[in-house]
Structure 1
Amino acid sequence: METPTSDSYDFVVIGGGIVGVATAWQLIQKYPNKKIALLEKETELAAHQTGHNSGVIHAGVYYAPGSLKAELCKRGSTLLKQFCQKHKIPVDNCGKLLVATNQIELGRMEKLYQRCLNNGIEVSQLNKRQLHEAEPEIQGEGALHVKTTSIVDFRLVTIKLAEEFSRLGGRVLLNTRVTDLNESSDRIELQCHDDKTTHVIHTNYLISCAGLMSDRLAKKLNIDVDFQIIPYRGEYYKLSEQHNNVVNHLIYPIPDPDLPFLGVHLTKMIDGSVTVGPNAVQGWKREGYRQWNFSLKDTWEMVTFSGFWKVTRKHLSAGVSELKNSYYKSGYLKLVNKYCPKISMADLHPHPAGVRAQAVMSDGTMMHDFLFAQTPRSLHVCNAPSPAATSSIAIGEYIVDKVSNHVNYDN
């Protein structure tokens, strides 16, 4: 990793999360003779969403057939596992069970089963007896078994992608915060700031994978975006070590289609531990991982955005319930005991939270698919919801294809 300097590049990628790094890696393979830089405002890669997630390599169960999300998830999962195998990054192909605990959920489970088939996902249905045989500590009326769901450490993947990008000639510039952008007919000028100095970087083409700050960077190039990033904090607990073998698979509830998030689940981690979560509570700071984190700027932008109030009203009841469970562990535990009664209050230990960068449109609609915006010399990843980490290498591939249609470079 290098100290940032003023320079000119053929391509600049903003964002040191897994999507940005995977994009830079794909880009330098497409254009090996071009000068390419990756900028990250923190002093390390994967400092935000990438480094604060559950590490699940998703199969694509929930996504509408034919959607970009479904396509990129399926291809991304394959490419990611191939990359990990090549670079000896540990992957546990543990599979996932979606557990139905009542008749209503059994009906929803059947619909998810059909969606899996439509998406070409390997899946099987388990009855109550088969569920008990597969998971003795889990109770339910039935389950879907998704065999291709796996777990990995996405931070390790990001670091290895960056190493490969650097090995191929790319430059990774840490501690480089982009404070302003200016696009002209022949280039984009980036005003950048480190701890001590301000400097200028020029590029022929810019790709922004800025996650929680994606809307702000798009607006710096006067892109008329009809959305704002709204942060939702996902809080986790870690189970007592004695429960590291409480499950053999990832255990997910059958999601309520009227709610925007999946619900609390049991997740085996690549280090052998098991986490419980996440919930989804309103964040008041975009990069605020603690319960009491607050940013006046972030909050003011949010509460003066009409879409925030519309989406909040739409999901008010669920939001209040999530907030209550955030402060009262007994409510959180009840969600877990619904399918895993063995877990007690004493088994739930604090674990680092994550923040989901959710694009919300001005009409209050949550954008659940990938969202891009472009200018003549830039492409912005405006929304990269889960399964963005799973899909990251495929997203990078997709972005490079889009960029190739706008630049005149030869390979």
Structure 2
Amino acid sequence: MRSAEMTATSDVTIVGGGIVGLATAYALVRGQTTVPGKPRRQPAVTVIDKEQDWGTHQTARNSGVIHSGLYYPPGSSKARFARAGAEAMYEFCAEQGIPAQRTGKVVVATSRPHLPRLAELARRGRANGVRLSEIDGAELREREPHARGVKALLVPDAGITDFAAVARRLAAILQAEGVELRANTELRGVHRESSSVVLSTTTGDIRTRRAVNCAGLHSDVVARMAGSIPPARILPFRGEYFHATGSGRDLVRSLIYPVPNPAFPFLGVHLTRTVDGSVHIGPNAVPALAREGYDWRTWSAAHLRSLARDRGLRTLARKYWRTGAGEIARSAFTPMFVRAAQELVPEVRGRDLHPAGSGVRAQAVTSDGTLVDDFLFTEDEHWVHVLNAPSPAATASLLIGRDIAARASSPWSG
């Protein structure tokens, strides 16, 4: 560990060692940056994270689904990254020996009122270049014998992997490439010095030409620390999962999703067979009581005071209180959660479900209470701030990392 008096130097320093931060470092060291009149050289890259391990939060606490680009408005960054990003992830996993399966998934309309939304998903998917087909209830049962619905979309290129394993492999590659990886390192302050920015951390100062904020749940805090006024703040939403045991493990072959509510950037309770053969069901989406509030017992008075003062969040709460109340009820009463799963697979039984942990999603919300539904980046002379990187960020992390690396690149002098 460095003493507080020592100052390291770097071309690019990445704050946040989740899968997007690690993928950005990977893109930087695997790319070639040319400075006119000087030989090519790899930039000096540092990655810091306050946790002991890499990819501890959103990376490790999700369903592990490789998305295909079905849901996103054509022309959005999500749509642009998801399709090619999924293929890049499959390729990386194959090269590195990380389990990944192209299982396919079905998005199920459980009743006729859902059919217009299903048709809109099909339109978006085709516009985004997603392979899909529309199947009726009988064809759905041939593929997923225990699922029930009037119609479904079959998306063959969706799949599953272990994103925590991907993050660990990226970290190992980066270490071999000479990247300085500082775990257990928390950012405490930022100040500028001439053409550089100095990051004060718990393991010493880092002087860097460019910095990248990939801090996820804390990205708006880091942006303000860096002197920026972020256009959105982070509202953490907790998603709780269950895993199926006993006969419940035999109810799902691949991925079974509901038709999502287009008003929200959440996909609803779904059933997922994971790479280890288990079946996960979830998540719901409830406001977390702390940025890392993985259960109802974990809360932060400062966080709650901040929420109470935020006009945009009050607007959001007034607009969607009924939906929010339903999500909270599903969190508090397991039978309600089970009923949500039974809409897709009626044979699901509460006795076969056991808590499987939870994740907290860093959802950006604007000052007028709008949920940001796409990637959100801001930049200045020294910083690239990643202020919203929701699903499919893990799926498309390798491509997102290339995009961020291009934004962060500047001429490295020898």
TM-score class, shorter-chain normalisation, is over 0.9
Q: Return the letter of the residue paired with 2:109.
A: A
Q: Which residue of 2 aligns with 1:26?
A: 27
Q: Return the letter of the residue paired with 2:388.
A: N
Q: Do the aligned partners of 1:3 and 1:173 also contact (CA within 8 Å) in 2?
A: no
Q: Which residue of 1 aligns with 2:181?
A: 172
Match of 2:295 among 276, 290, 299: 290
Q: CA deviation at 1:34?
A: 2.3
Identity of aligned residues (%): 37
Q: CA deviation at 1:241?
A: 4.1
- In the alignment, the residues of structure 2 paired with residue 271 and residue 3 of structure 1 have an alpha-carbon distance, to the nearest angstrom, of 39
Q: Which residue of 1 aligns with 2:36?
A: none
Q: Aligned runs of 1:12-411 on 2, under 5 Å?
A: 12-30=13-31, 32-194=41-203, 199-404=204-409, 407-409=410-412
- In the alignment, the residues of structure 2 paired with residue 3 and residue 163 of structure 1 have an alpha-carbon distance, to the nearest angstrom, of 21
Q: Do the aligned partners of 1:181 and 1:189 also contact (CA within 8 Å) in 2?
A: yes
- In the alignment, the residues of structure 2 paired with residue 337 and residue 121 of structure 1 have an alpha-carbon distance, to the nearest angstrom, of 28
The one-character-per-residue Cα deviations of 1:18-47 (angstroms, maximum 9, x if unpaired) are: 000000111112255322111011011111
- In the alignment, the residues of structure 2 paired with residue 224 and residue 175 of structure 1 have an alpha-carbon distance, to the nearest angstrom, of 27
Q: Do the aligned partners of 2:15 and 2:212 also contact (CA within 8 Å) in 1?
A: yes
Q: Return the letter of the residue paired with 2:97.
A: K
The TM-score, its normalising length taken from structure 1, stands at: 0.95
- In the alignment, the residues of structure 2 paired with residue 110 and residue 372 of structure 1 have an alpha-carbon distance, to the nearest angstrom, of 31
The DSSP-based 3-state class of the residue aligned with 2:266 is coil
Gaps of 5+ in 2: 33-40
- Which stretch shows the higher mean deviation, 183-192 or 11-20? 183-192
- Which stretch shows the higher mean deviation, 97-106 or 31-40? 31-40
The DSSP-based 3-state class of the residue aligned with 1:51 is coil
- In the alignment, the residues of structure 2 paired with residue 393 and residue 323 of structure 1 have an alpha-carbon distance, to the nearest angstrom, of 34
The TM-score, its normalising length taken from structure 2, stands at: 0.95
- In the alignment, the residues of structure 2 paired with residue 241 and residue 83 of structure 1 have an alpha-carbon distance, to the nearest angstrom, of 34
The DSSP-based 3-state class of the residue aligned with 2:99 is coil
Matched residue count: 404
Q: CA deviation at 1:387?
A: 0.7
Q: Return the letter of the residue paired with 1:100.
A: A
- Which stretch shows the higher mean deviation, 14-23 or 331-340? 331-340
Gaps of 5+ in 1: none
Q: CA deviation at 1:3?
A: 6.7
- In the alignment, the residues of structure 2 paired with residue 209 and residue 94 of structure 1 have an alpha-carbon distance, to the nearest angstrom, of 30
Q: Return the letter of the residue paired with 2:377.
A: F
Q: CA deviation at 1:303?
A: 1.8
Q: Do the aligned partners of 1:238 and 1:273 also contact (CA within 8 Å) in 2?
A: yes
Q: CA deviation at 1:205?
A: 1.0
- In the alignment, the residues of structure 2 paired with residue 398 and residue 301 of structure 1 have an alpha-carbon distance, to the nearest angstrom, of 32
Q: CA deviation at 1:391?
A: 1.0
Q: CA deviation at 1:87?
A: 0.6
Q: CA deviation at 1:306?
A: 1.4
Pairwise CA RMSD = 1.5
The DSSP-based 3-state class of the residue aligned with 1:50 is coil
